[in-house]
Amino acid sequence: MADSATPLVAGCWYVICTTTELDAQKMLSRWILDQNIVVRRTENGTPVAMDNRCPHRSFPLSKGFQSGDEIVCGYHGMSFDSEGQCTRLPAGAEIRGKIALRTYPLIERAPLIWIWMGAPSKADPSLLPDYPSLTEASWIAINGYYHVAANYVGLHENLQDLSHFEYLHSSSIGVPDRTPSSFDARLEDGKVRCARLYANVQPPPLYQTLLDLGPRIDRKIRVEFTSPALTHGDMTIRNHNEKPNEEEQEYHTRILHFLTPESQNSTHYWWYFIRDFALDNGEIGDLLKRGIQAAFAEDQMALESISELTRRDPRTTFRELSFATDQPGILMRRTIAAAAGLE
């Protein structure tokens, strides 16, 4: 099974930045799979990515400047075009032979820019995941970013682990009732899908506050591990009626977790939380964002604590226990291990 020592999977589309990040910074430096990449836009707005290390004296090109479609090293003026080809040497020396930086395929699909870190010939755009609800008028999104000092495999497992809600998130999105609930997990077409139904339970504190729910609800959560770069899910809350002939209310949310390994022990994490209720209510949106951020901060604390402990503990014979509710994470770990093995 995959763990923090498993080689990072390169043959995958990963998020490198958002469109707004790149538009704000013009040139952006980011570590992806232990490679330092510079991303920028050409004069016609096309995003391009290449190694962020000048081959002359290793100065970061992102600390230089752009001249037209070229990027110019801020140390000695070595210049490169948008395809990574050298166009100027220090002190105007003659270019002899081919001098070029490695470039990386990019796809911009708002609000995200994706990078392919594997062999360029295998960068198939059809492998890019779809996320239509980010732009549908009947849904509204809130979003954020975390830099997590932990391996991305553990983060994917956390996002698929529906059994920790009642404990780690007891004051936010967890269900107060710590009673058994129906659970299902399976591997289909390379994707790990799991679902859990909490029937006739108390509402989570966050949603009780926001939606003025009754004392009992049904809550269904579905989660899918799509690729090493994406885990996503959806949730339905059905509010139980206190009056016999009153129509039951349903609230729907979707959440997208875009994970990009920075290194073996750190991860870029962009998230989008999408809802179909209170679309014009900014106050509910603000309260919801703060509540979601609080829950994610709890996850970050747990994952970083685990990462620090496992890195520093010298014992090599320690073996973790697994239980039935860990099945989604185990299936995901096997899927990532298989992908890494193929590379």
* Domain-located, residue 46: yes
**Domain co-membership, 306 together with 213:** yes
State pLDDT tens for residues 299-331. 999 999 999 999 999 788 899 999 998 999 999
* Domain-located, residue 124: no
Residue where a domain stops, chosen among 104, 121, 150: 104
Judged against a pLDDT cut of 60, whether residue 164 lies above it is answered with yes
Per-residue confidence band for 178, with pLDDT thresholds at 50, 70 and 90: low
State the CATH number of the domain containing residue 79. 2.102.10.10
* Domain-located, residue 112: no
Judged against a pLDDT cut of 90, whether residue 267 lies above it is answered with yes
Does pTM surpass 0.85? yes
Per-residue confidence band for 132, with pLDDT thresholds at 50, 70 and 90: confident
Neighbours of 53 (CB within 10 A): 19
Judged against a pLDDT cut of 80, whether residue 244 lies above it is answered with no
**Domain co-membership, 258 together with 145:** yes
Query: What pLDDT, on a 0 to 100 scale, did the predictor assign at position 274?
Result: 95
**Domain co-membership, 225 together with 185:** yes
Per cent of the chain over pLDDT 90 is 69
pLDDT higher for 202 or 327?
Answer: 327
**Domain co-membership, 194 together with 96:** no
Judged against a pLDDT cut of 80, whether residue 245 lies above it is answered with no
Judged against a pLDDT cut of 70, whether residue 180 lies above it is answered with no
Q: Which of 152, 145, 160 is nearest to 225 (CA)?
A: 160
**Count of all residues that appear for the chain in the document:** 343
Q: Which of 49-63, 84-98, 120-134, 237-251 has the highest mean pLDDT?
A: 49-63
Judged against a pLDDT cut of 70, whether residue 87 lies above it is answered with yes
Query: What pLDDT, on a 0 to 100 scale, did the predictor assign at position 242?
Result: 64
Mean pLDDT on 59-77: 97
* Domain-located, residue 287: yes
Report which DSSP code applies to 178: -
* Domain-located, residue 232: yes
**Domain co-membership, 84 together with 180:** no
Per cent of the chain over pLDDT 70 is 95
Q: Which of 224, 204, 225, 226 is nearest to 215 (CA)?
A: 204
**Domain co-membership, 215 together with 283:** yes
Helix (H) or strand (E) holding 28: strand 27-32
Query: What pLDDT, on a 0 to 100 scale, did the predictor assign at position 176?
Result: 62
**Domain co-membership, 180 together with 97:** no
**Domain co-membership, 196 together with 64:** no
State pLDDT tens for residues 7-45. 999 999 999 999 999 988 889 999 999 999 999 999 999
Residue where a domain stops, chosen among 86, 104, 122: 104
* Domain-located, residue 1: no
Residues contacting residue 151 through CB under 8 Å, at least 6 positions apart: 3, 4, 261, 264, 265, 267, 307
Helix (H) or strand (E) holding 332: helix 327-342
Residue where a domain stops, chosen among 53, 86, 104: 104
* Domain-located, residue 60: yes
Per-residue confidence band for 131, with pLDDT thresholds at 50, 70 and 90: confident
Q: Number of structural domains, the chain?
A: 2
**Domain co-membership, 69 together with 182:** no
Residue 99 domain boundaries: 20-104
* Domain-located, residue 243: yes
**Domain co-membership, 50 together with 184:** no
Tell me the three state secondary structure of residue 138.
Answer: coil
**Domain co-membership, 145 together with 247:** yes
Phi–psi pair at 65, nearest 5 degrees: -150, 170
Per-residue confidence band for 65, with pLDDT thresholds at 50, 70 and 90: very high
State the CATH number of the domain containing residue 233. 3.90.380.10
Distance from C-alpha of 324 to C-alpha of 250, rounded to nearest angstrom: 30
**Domain co-membership, 46 together with 159:** no
Per-residue confidence band for 181, with pLDDT thresholds at 50, 70 and 90: low
